[in-house]
Amino acid sequence: MNVQLALPIKNGLLEHCRINSDCVMVPPTVTAVQDYAFWKNSNLKKIVFPDTIRNLGKFTFKGCRSLQQIELPKHLSTIGPRAFADCQSLKALTIPDTVSSIGISAFKNCTSLCKITIPDTVSVLACNLFDGCSSLVQVNLPHNATLEMGAFCGCEQLKSVRLPNGITGIDTYTFAGCRSLESINIPEGAKLIARWAFQNCVSLKTVHIPQSVDFIAYRAFDGCTNCTQTENGITYIDRWVIEADADLQTAVLRPNTEGIANSAFADCRRLKRVEIPSGVHAIGDHAFYGCSALEYAAVPNSVTHIGKDAFFGCDLLAR
């Protein structure tokens, strides 16, 4: 049963309130919701908003640990930072296609959230958007959007995700701790994969890295042992070298290699010779840093990007 309580409303603004009811119907006189409006109302299970509301402020429902159902306004435009953070009973949510902005950590630690749809009108998936959503198994994302740091960090049940075409890269911790993630197809146009982007994705078996990527940071795939292949002391993910044995003396890269990640051969102090095949287009920061015995490393014409200090300390090579 929907209950219309006497709520604190001033000039159309719903202000912070403390309620004992588990079900609330907000009247149509409300056009905006103040920051912290229902913050830590632990009894609240269901709320119905009128279509007059355009904005939900920051921390609107943060800590409403019993909230299970919410009907969002049809003309909603923005959802503020941490609006639904720590709503531990919320299981599913559909965002109206009028929403254009969702703030950082909006759904952080919604530990029961298993399904959510973000419309194409949203252009940025903000920092830590679904951080700690440990039950999330299905997420429908916009076709064109950018991903910010930690967006899916700790989504332990997420097995697959279709990445938006508009992303420019995979930021730090974006999928860290996604222990059930099995495959990832990074779309063409992405330029970089940042440090710890896929940290401890222990089930990850298939990774597609497009040719547009020219930067893979050190430890981007830290702990992802099921998607790597090691051959002659060199470890690959897809067509990129990410690591090498410290005692390696000669490195002959696979013919289809496209890139050498940051610090891939760093401090391989016995490495004397490296064969870089035509087709490699990127050599990362510190790729051969400290390879003091390196005497030969012919860089093919296909290379268009050489990172910072890629050959720093390779004094024999300089001669």
Kindly indicate the confidence band of residue 19, based on its pLDDT and cuts at 50, 70 and 90. Answer: confident
* pLDDT over threshold 60, residue 4: no
pLDDT tens, residue by residue, 262-315: 999 999 999 999 999 999 999 999 999 999 999 999 899 999 999 999 999 999
**What does the alpha-carbon distance between residue 152 and residue 178 come to, in Å, rounded to a whole number?**
8
- Mean pLDDT of the residues in the chain: 94
In this model, does residue 21 exceed pLDDT 80?
yes
Q: Who contacts 296 (Cβ-Cβ below 8 Å, separation ≥6)?
A: 272, 273, 274, 317
Confidence band for 1, pLDDT divided at 50, 70 and 90: very low
Q: What is the pLDDT of residue 32?
A: 87
pLDDT in tens, 209-254: 999 999 999 999 999 999 999 999 999 999 999 999 999 999 999 9
Among the residue ranges 100-109, 157-166, 273-282, the one predicted with the least confidence is 157-166
pLDDT above 70 covers a percentage of the chain that reads 98
pLDDT of residue 6: 73
pTM: 0.92
Domains of the chain: 123-227 (no CATH), 228-319 (3.80.10.10)
What integer pLDDT is reported at residue 5 of this predicted model?
61
